[in-house]
Amino acid sequence: MTGFQHAIIGCGRVAPNHVDGFARVPGWSVAAACDREAHVTAFAAEHGIPRTARDPQELFADPGVTSVSIAVDHAQHGPLVERALRAGKHVLVEKPICLDPAEARRLTALAAQHGLVLAVVAQHRYDPLVLAVRRWVADGELGRLVFGAVQLKARRPADYYTGSYWRGTVAGEGGSALVNQGYHALDAIHWICGDVTVAGALAGRRVLGDVIETEDTLSGLLSAGGTPVTLNVTVGSSEEWRSRIELVGDLGWIVFDLDHPGRVHDWGGSARLDSLAGAERDRSLAEEPPGPAYYGTSHRRLIADFCRSVATGEPMLSAAGDAVATLDTIVELYERAQAGSAPAPD
Ligand SMILES: NC(=O)c1ccc[n+]([C@@H]2O[C@H](COP(=O)([O-])OP(=O)(O)OC[C@H]3O[C@@H](n4cnc5c(N)ncnc54)[C@H](O)[C@@H]3O)[C@@H](O)[C@H]2O)c1
């Protein structure tokens, strides 16, 4: 792979993970950083990026730019992805792909029609532990699954929202605890178990009622291929970040955290599962994360796969269509929660 030039649109919290990922792929470079705000200059200087732009159109119009990351507020994902694809750029967009499932389907079809790679960042799909658990489930190491429990406890103080132009707003974020922070835990269930449908949901503002117009807490009941899975996500906990998944089958069970470096906490069952889970527990993942620790290090793995796909035309391990399924579930959880009764603030 040689001479591929990538541009990053949106130089906020997650952007360093994109710089880090592309800088590691031989033959690729981050050629431009774009942000509509003036801090793009400092961001580019800090990360050694040679060119800056304030308007994404400048980069879309440049034939030298191979691909773009889109790392802005959720509401702009759809329109920017579409403009980038129509300009012939391969696109890596942060989760969620956009806020409207019909638009998401149009975007994946547009990418296919133009022969371009469209990938959605759900980096935990590439975590070694998540891939191992996914394999164990597929290989029947847990037997027949009887239930799953997924949760994300996060703490987001008021100024996280009041200091942002988009967070905590329906128009900009499209939701909060689920579509933003809880996305990864839900997406992991899609990836590990597949075939997710929604049986019910409740959502509300338990602690941030004066600050945000979106939900700070959501609970859902899902079916993953017939297995009941409970989902609890909140940005109102006292713990900064903890995403935990428990899967229980008739031959074994496992409890693990997604959070870097991915921890197996408990398991039981066959001697084989014991040996597999024990090896995962002892695996060393001593890589230094480029951003907040709970973002992990798998942007690197996902970006390497994106670059491979652009260069070879081969599909990625996880395609944009997978992200559409996760978006379908998110939208349905919100619809169910809106139809049901929401937990009232204390
Ligand atoms: N995968 C992860 O672990 C992870 C972690 C954090 C954020 N995210 C996702 O990344 C995206 C961005 O989140 P963030 O926390 O970095 O947001 P942020 O608010 O910190 O940064 C967004 C940046 O985009 C810029 N921007 C907005 N509109 C623009 C436009 N039209 N052109 C150029 N620049 C524009 C803003 O000025 C801002 O600097 C969201 O989709 C979020 O859900 C993912």
Interval between CA 19 and ligand 1 midpoint (Å): 14
Q: Where in the chain is the domain with CATH 3.40.50.720?
A: 4-121+309-315
Which tens digit of pLDDT belongs to each residue from 158-200? Answer: 999 999 999 999 999 999 999 999 999 999 999 999 999 999 9
- 176: Cβ below 6 Å to ligand 1? no
Q: What is the pLDDT of residue 75?
A: 98
Look up the pTM and report it: 0.96
Number of Cβ atoms within 10 Å of the Cβ of 229? 23
Interval between CA 11 and ligand 1 midpoint (Å): 7
What angle in degrees, to the nearest 10, is found between the helix axes of 15-23 and 40-47?
30
Lowest-pLDDT choice from 90-94, 263-267, 270-274: 263-267
The answer to whether residue 51 scores a pLDDT higher than 80 is: yes
- 296: Cβ below 6 Å to ligand 1? no
Residue nearest to atom 3 of ligand 1 (CA): 295
Number of Cβ atoms within 10 Å of the Cβ of 230? 15
- 54: Cβ below 6 Å to ligand 1? no
Tell me which of 30 and 342 has the higher pLDDT.
30
Q: What is the CATH number of domain 4-121+309-315?
A: 3.40.50.720
Interval between CA 226 and ligand 1 midpoint (Å): 36
Q: Where in the chain is the domain with CATH 3.30.360.10?
A: 125-298+327-339
Interval between CA 330 and ligand 1 midpoint (Å): 20
Q: Report the Cα 301 to chain-centroid distance in Å.
A: 13
Which tens digit of pLDDT belongs to each residue from 238-264? Answer: 999 999 999 999 999 999 999 887 789
Q: What is the pLDDT of residue 284?
A: 66
The answer to whether residue 346 scores a pLDDT higher than 60 is: no
Averaged pLDDT for residues 44-63:
98
Q: What is the CATH number of domain 125-298+327-339?
A: 3.30.360.10
Residue nearest to atom 39 of ligand 1 (CA): 12
Q: What is the pLDDT of residue 342?
A: 53
